[in-house]
Structures are given as structure tokens and as C-alpha cells.
């Protein structure tokens, strides 16, 4: 039995969890306070959420990220995980992401495989979480130099497996002359971003040769954006890992506009994507003007370069890392 913990703030990581779980040969139990995804194949343990109210010493004097004193929801969640570990005796626990859950599992003698996040992760809590992990998975390719630059030294325990997407990569295609109005697809997220309806309306009005489609919390929410991505001539997206993985799977050129996130997560990814090796035009913020030239420049990028970022086998390589960690526990 393998366990897979998904943090309740990690909605964008659910598709990655599904892909890795499917690549594992054997039963996988999901543990999360999020609802069970319809495509999840194994068991699912629904965990309690935190109790509302003021948080007392939530970071344990800077040693942890979230462990507020006296929080009944936290206590129940950790107890439920501990009870599941004792009952199921998992061979390993994949943690995406929580230093505290990883530490709980390791204190129960369970190997921990942590999914790394981009950004500056050298605070004491992150260092602790990575230090107790048997392996750390980076969902980016080895060729994306710099993606792990904000992590503490991990040496051979860090495995860059490539991007992980719920979609199988599309057939590559080279840039082609337009045969009519072109399509710009804005791939927003469930959280906050600068992709407002007003900003997109102004950009659309300034680019009469383009049809715009806005997907996300501020636009049209769809559970499956795959068809829209495949139809896009240019994808405009934030720099979240899942969004970049999906644009890469669709093999579409991208305009990437990183959003403010803790630990400079998206800015760090954008810095890597700014390398000319990747078919992405990186902007510091949503521009007020200049969209005709920006779309034209992006449309000329050769999106076949995304093959190196997402070759469709990242989940399989991640699963192999988890299996290796679980075998080390079995051998012990």
C-alpha cells in the first residue's frame, strides 16, 4: 500500500496525484481534506479541515509552516493520518505538500517522498521537510536548469522527472500561416490572478485578428480545458506548474505571466522559462498595451520545444522513484 497526501490548498496538484497514482503498480490511497476526484481509482480518506479562528504560534517559532496550538481540526487530521498509517502500514507516503504530514509519517517509520515546489525553499521548515525525505521529486525536466536552484542541497535524492500532466502530449506541429482569425486562450486558475475580464477585454479590442477565450475563475470555468488548449494559437497563462505542464502537453506557444505566490514560486519558474530553449514569452505583468506584437511574436515560437519539458512520461518516472523508496523500507 502506498499513501498519497494532497494538501487542501493543492487543488492544482490533484491531476498530478491522479497521474502518479495510476502509474504505480499497486493500491494507492489518497489522503486529503479535498473531495475525492472522480478519476481517482483507489481508496480515499477524507481528512478534517482546520478549525476556524485565530491561529496561536502557527509556525512553531519558525520551525514548521502550519501547526497552530489548540486547533481541533489540525489535531483530528493528524490523528486520522496516524490511525491510517497504523492500520494500513504503508510502504511509503507521497506528500504534496506538507512538511508537517511528512514529519508525522517519518516519525511512524514510513519513508516519505516529497513533491518539491519551485521557488526559494531554504527556510527552516522546508529544510526540515526535505531533510527527512527518502526522495524528492521535481516535476520539471533535468534540462530546466534552475528549477531546483531554490532548494536546499539534496544531491542524489532530488529526481527531476519532467512535467506531469493529466493529458497525453499532442502531436507536435510547427508554426503555420493563419487561415482566419487566430485564437488566444487565457488559462487562468482557481485562485487570484491578474487575468481580469476588463484587462482581457482591452487586449481583445486591440487585436481584431484574434478571438479570445478566457478560462478560469475570472472567466469561464471548465474542468477539462484540453480541447480549448489544442485549438489555441497562443496560450496566455500564469506560471503554475500544472498550467505550464498542460500548455506544454498541448504543444502550444505560450505567453507566461507569473503571479505573486509565497516563496517566489511562479517567478522562479518564469525565470527558467525565460531561457530561449523554451517556447514561452515571459512578461513580468499583464501589459496594458502592445498585444498585437506580443501575440505575433509568441505565435512564431516553435512549440515543439515543449517536448523536452513534458514528454508524457513524467508520472511513470515519479512512480519509479516512489517504488524505489518503498523497496528500501521493505528491505529494512
Question: Do the Cβ atoms of 50 and 37 come closer than 8 Å?
Answer: no
Task: Determine the average pLDDT of the residues in 157-177.
Answer: 86
Task: Determine the average pLDDT of the residues in 281-302.
Answer: 96
Residue 108, C-alpha cell as written in the block: 511512524
CA dist 17 to 20, 200, 241, Å? Answer: 5, 32, 13
Task: Determine the average pLDDT of the residues in 75-98.
Answer: 97
Q: In what order do the strands lie in the sheet with 210-215?
A: 210-215, 182-187, 234-237, 254-256, 280-282
Q: Is the dihedral of CA 68, 72, 75, 80 positive or negative?
A: negative
104-152 pLDDT per residue, tens? 999 999 999 999 999 999 999 999 999 999 999 999 999 998 999 999 9
Q: What is the pLDDT of residue 329?
A: 62
Q: Is residue 288 classed exposed, middle or buried when 0-12, 13-18 and 19+ CB atoms within 10 A define those classes?
A: exposed
The answer, yes or no, to whether residue 61 has pLDDT greater than 60, is: yes
Cβ-Cβ contacts under 8 Å for 92 (sequence gap 6 or more): 2, 3, 110, 111, 112, 113, 134, 322, 325, 326, 329
Residue 330, C-alpha cell as written in the block: 521493505
The answer, yes or no, to whether residue 261 has pLDDT greater than 70, is: yes
192-251 pLDDT per residue, tens? 688 999 999 999 999 999 999 999 877 788 888 999 999 999 999 999 999 999 999 999
Task: Determine the average pLDDT of the residues in 64-70.
Answer: 95
Question: Do the Cβ atoms of 64 and 100 come closer than 8 Å?
Answer: yes
Length of the chain: 332
Task: Tell me the percentage of the chain whose pLDDT exceeds 90.
Answer: 84
Strand pairing category for 234-237 and 254-256: parallel
**Distance of alpha carbon 55 from alpha carbon 51, whole angstroms:** 9
Cβ-Cβ contacts under 8 Å for 38 (sequence gap 6 or more): none
Q: What is the pLDDT of residue 55?
A: 87
Q: What is the pLDDT of residue 11?
A: 73
Residue 318's CB is within 10 A of a number of other CB atoms, namely: 26
**Distance of alpha carbon 193 from alpha carbon 206, whole angstroms:** 21
**Distance of alpha carbon 188 from alpha carbon 194, whole angstroms:** 9
**Distance of alpha carbon 182 from alpha carbon 295, whole angstroms:** 10
**In what helix (H) or strand (E) does residue 227 lie, and over which residues does it extend?**
helix 226-231
Counting Cα atoms < 13 Å in the Cβ hemisphere of 175 gives 15
The answer, yes or no, to whether residue 9 has pLDDT greater than 60, is: yes
The answer, yes or no, to whether residue 332 has pLDDT greater than 60, is: no
Question: Do the Cβ atoms of 254 and 294 come closer than 8 Å?
Answer: no
For the chain, give the mean pLDDT.
93
Q: Bridge-partner residues for 184, per DSSP? A: 212, 234
**Distance of alpha carbon 332 from alpha carbon 133, whole angstroms:** 16
Confidence of residue 278 (pLDDT cuts 50, 70, 90): very high
26-54 pLDDT per residue, tens? 999 999 999 999 999 999 999 999 987 77
The answer, yes or no, to whether residue 8 has pLDDT greater than 90, is: no
Q: What is the pLDDT of residue 51?
A: 80
Q: What is the pLDDT of residue 41?
A: 92
Q: What is the pLDDT of residue 226?
A: 94
3-state secondary structure of 242: helix
**Distance of alpha carbon 183 from alpha carbon 22, whole angstroms:** 33
Amino acid at each position: 500500500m502506498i499513501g498519497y497526501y494532497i494538501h487542501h490548498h493543492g487543488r492544482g496538484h490533484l491531476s498530478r496525484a491522479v497521474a502518479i497514482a495510476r502509474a504505480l503498480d499497486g493500491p494507492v490511497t489518497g489522503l486529503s481534506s479535498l473531495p475525492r476526484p472522480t478519476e481517482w481509482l483507489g481508496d480515499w480518506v477524507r481528512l478534517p479541515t482546520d478549525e476556524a479562528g485565530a491561529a496561536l504560534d502557527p509556525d512553531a517559532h519558525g520551525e514548521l509552516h502550519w501547526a497552530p496550538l489548540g486547533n481541533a481540526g489540525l489535531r483530528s487530521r493528524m490523528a486520522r493520518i496516524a490511525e491510517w498509517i497504523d492500520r494500513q502500514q504503508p510502504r511509503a507516503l507521497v506528500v504534496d505538500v506538507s512538511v508537517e504530514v511528512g514529519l508525522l509519517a517519518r516519525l511512524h517509520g514510513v519513508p516519505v517522498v516529497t513533491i518539491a515546489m519551485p521557488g526559494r525553499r531554504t527556510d527552516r521548515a522546508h529544510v526540515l521537510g526535505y531533510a527527512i525525505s527518502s526522495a524528492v521529486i521535481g516535476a520539471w525536466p533535468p534540462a530546466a536548469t534552475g528549477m531546483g536552484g531554490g532548494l536546499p542541497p539534496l544531491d542524489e535524492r532530488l529526481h527531476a522527472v519532467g512535467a506531469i500532466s493529466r493529458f497525453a502530449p499532442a502531436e507536435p506541429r510547427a508554426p503555420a500561416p493563419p487561415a482566419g482569425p487566430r485564437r488566444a486562450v487565457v488559462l487562468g486558475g482557481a485562485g487570484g490572478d491578474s487575468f481580469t475580464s476588463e484587462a482581457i477585454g482591452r487586449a481583445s479590442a486591440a487585436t481584431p485578428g484574434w478571438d479570445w477565450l478566457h478560462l478560469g475563475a475570472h472567466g469561464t470555468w471548465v474542468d477539462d480545458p484540453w480541447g480549448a488548449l489544442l485549438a489555441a494559437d497562443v496560450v496566455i497563462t500564469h506560471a503554475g506548474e500544472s498550467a505550464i505542464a498542460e500548455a506544454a502537453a498541448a504543444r502550444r506557444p505560450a505567453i507566461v505571466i507569473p503571479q505573486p505566490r509565497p516563496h517566489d514560486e511562479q517567478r522562479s519558474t518564469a525565470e527558467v522559462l525565460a531561457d530561449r530553449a523554451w517556447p514561452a514569452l515571459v512578461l513580468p505583468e499583464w501589459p496594458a498595451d502592445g498585444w498585437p506584437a506580443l501575440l505575433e511574436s509568441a505565435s512564431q515560437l516553435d512549440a515543439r520545444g515543449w517536448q523536452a519539458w513534458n514528454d508524457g512520461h513524467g508520472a511513470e518516472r515519479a512512480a519509479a522513484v516512489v517504488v524505489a523508496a518503498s523497496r528500501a523500507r521493505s528491505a529494512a
